[in-house]
Amino acid sequence: MYQALAEAITAARASTAAHALLIACQPEVFTAGNDLEDFLQRPPVGSGSPVRVFMQALLECEKPVMAAVSGAAIGIGATMLLHCDLVYVSDQARLVLPFVALGLVPEFASSLLLPQRLGYARAAEKMLRGEPIIGAEAVELGIATAVLPASELLAHARRMAERFTALPPGAVRDTKRLKRAGSSAAITHAMQAEEAIFSERLRSAEALEALQAFVQKRKPDFSRF
């Protein structure tokens, strides 16, 4: 799925017919997050991993990227929104950063970008404790552009995406490039630091306990760590 997303972004970048990208979802869920059994068997590490290829494709996209989010957006489903230009959420959206609870650390430069947007204290609540971000709160915190009823979400996002067809594409791309210029180096540095620690954490006893407990449908026991 990560590879398919990366290929779709790359194709849209190359197409003169595509003026903007819209990442949408089923009405019930944006993403449930990574398959944790797959995490145990095939850890997603390294620059060539599908998730890293997807991250890089999203980072390098010069065209506007939009997201329409309803239901759960867990893990990368939440952190990827920090790299979208316009984010529309439904009143049923629920963004969750479960990394610490899984014995891991945040990714996709969220350890840098969330404190910048939310402030340190509120970012700590969402990142350290994994408190969900619900519906309109995503707008209040600066993660989303607008909140809509779930039944109206996709149609509204499509209308907003179609507006880019009436704008000069070169000016749009240059504006996005300027908007990101001051933060691109910091984002790359944060991603590299996160990836190094994430890889270590995947092999840690804490992460193994958390992931196995999830698969076995039991409460993890961190008392011995």
pLDDT tens readout for residues 66-103: 999 999 999 999 999 999 999 999 999 999 999 999 99
pLDDT tens readout for residues 166-225: 999 999 999 999 999 999 999 999 999 999 999 899 889 999 999 899 889 999 999 988
Question: To which CATH superfamily is domain 2-151+169-215 assigned?
Answer: 2-enoyl-CoA Hydratase; Chain A, domain 1 (3.90.226.10)
Mean pLDDT confidence for 98-124: 96
Phi-psi category of residue 96: left, alpha or beta, with phi > 0 → left and psi -120 to 50 → alpha = beta
Sheet containing 133-134: order of strands:
29-31, 72-74, 94-96, 133-134
User: Mean pLDDT, the chain, as a whole number?
Assistant: 94
Please determine, for residue 40, whether its predicted confidence score (pLDDT) is greater than 80. Answer: no
How many CA atoms lie less than 13 Å away from 62 in the CB half-sphere? 14
Hey, where are the domains in the chain?
A: 2-151+169-215
Predicted local distance difference test score (pLDDT) of residue 127: 97
Q: What is the reported pTM?
A: 0.95
- Measure CA 188 to chain center: 15
Please determine, for residue 116, whether its predicted confidence score (pLDDT) is greater than 80. Answer: yes
DSSP the chain: -HHHHHHHHHHHHH-TT---EEE---SSEEE----HHHHHHS---STTSHHHHHHHHHHH--S-EEEEE-SEEETHHHHGGGG-SEEEEETT-EEE--TGGGT----TTHHHHHHHHH-HHHHHHHHHS---EETHHHHHTTS-SEEE-HHHHHHHHHHHHHGGGGS-HHHHHHHHHHHHHTTHHHHHHHHHHHHHHHHHHHTSHHHHHHHHHHHTTS----TT-
